[in-house]
Structures are given as structure tokens and as C-alpha cells.
Amino acid sequence: MPVEVTPARNTRLGWNTTTREQLRRYLEHLLTLLRLSDHHLTVDLGEPSDECAEVHTTPGQRHVTLYLSAGFLSQPPRWQQETLLHELIHLHLNPLVHLTDAATDAVLEPAAHQVLCQALWSQVELPSDTLATVIADLTDPPTFGAAGDTATAVAS
């Protein structure tokens, strides 16, 4: 379950070497917890479009990119925890969206196909949020960023 955190474009925003390593270890912990250890996760510390965090998956592949914005690190630990969990839970749910997209692309009119896929995508968001909140109640939040602690995020 390799996790690679790319160097930040601007270390003044808090993404120094120590914080990146803490994030990497915390994400490895969450991947194990969520039974996603077979995924390769690359974390890009650039700015995602309109979101503080965003995960991109490719159908049939287990290489995933997680985009985190500069604002992510300034958020409270519980928010960071739920956001990371939410994005990783998408790794379990996105295959359903991709399958529906592929299965209906050739049989539905383009407008109907688009409406169906957008509706399904919005319906994936609610269980992602709910499961992230439930799992966050059962796990420790990260101890980097807004927590102001440079201690290890997850015990070895």
C-alpha cells in the first residue's frame, strides 16, 4: 500500500517534510483500516478545483490521486479526518459509478446518460459522508496541521 506525498509547491503553507511524512503515515493507517491496502495512493498538495480535497480514480486501476489544497492543513483535525475518510471511502463506491457510466453510455441518449450519472454521483456523496462520520467516531484524528502538534500522526 504505497502512499506517496508529492512535495508541496509552497512550504510556507505548512506542508513541510515532517508534515508530509505525518500525512503519509496517517493515510497508510486509514487505507489499512478501510481495507484499501492494495491501492497505490499519490497525494498532490496542489489546489484542486473548488474543493479542499478531491480523489481521482480510473476504472479498473488501483492507482489513485488524492488532491489536497493549501487550506486543508488549516482545518480542524476532526474535519481533516472526516474529509480524508470521505475521499478514501469513494474508492469503494466509485466503481459503481464507473460501471453505471460504462453500462449506460451506449444505450441511453446522451442527456439521459448524463442525468443518470450525475444523480448516481450525488447519491454516492451521502453514504460517503455518513460512513466517514461513523468511522471518524471510532478512530483518532490526525495530529498535524490545525492541531498545532508536530508529533507523530499515527503511532508506529
Give pLDDT tens digits along the chain (156 positions): 589 988 766 565 678 888 889 999 999 999 999 999 999 999 988 765 557 888 988 888 889 999 988 788 888 999 999 999 999 999 998 888 878 878 888 888 989 888 887 888 788 888 999 999 999 999 999 987 655 443 434 433
Q: How far apart are CA 10 and CA 46, in angstroms?
A: 9
* Residue 73 placed within a domain: yes
Amino acid 150: pLDDT: 39
Amino acid 153: pLDDT: 40
Per the structure, the complete domain to which residue 38 belongs is given by 3-147
Strand pairing report for 53-56 and 3-5: unpaired
Q: How far apart are CA 66 and CA 72, in angstroms?
A: 12
Amino acid 9: pLDDT: 66
* Residue 124 placed within a domain: yes
- What is the count of structural domains for the chain? 1
* Residue 155 placed within a domain: no
3-state secondary structure of 6: coil
Amino acid 155: pLDDT: 39
* Residue 10 placed within a domain: yes
- DSSP alpha helix (H) spans, the chain: 17-33, 77-105, 110-138
104, HSE (Cβ side, Cα atoms, 13 Å): 18
Q: How far apart are CA 138 and CA 140, in angstroms?
A: 7
- What nine digits make up the cell of 123? 447519491
Amino acid 132: pLDDT: 96
Amino acid 47: pLDDT: 65
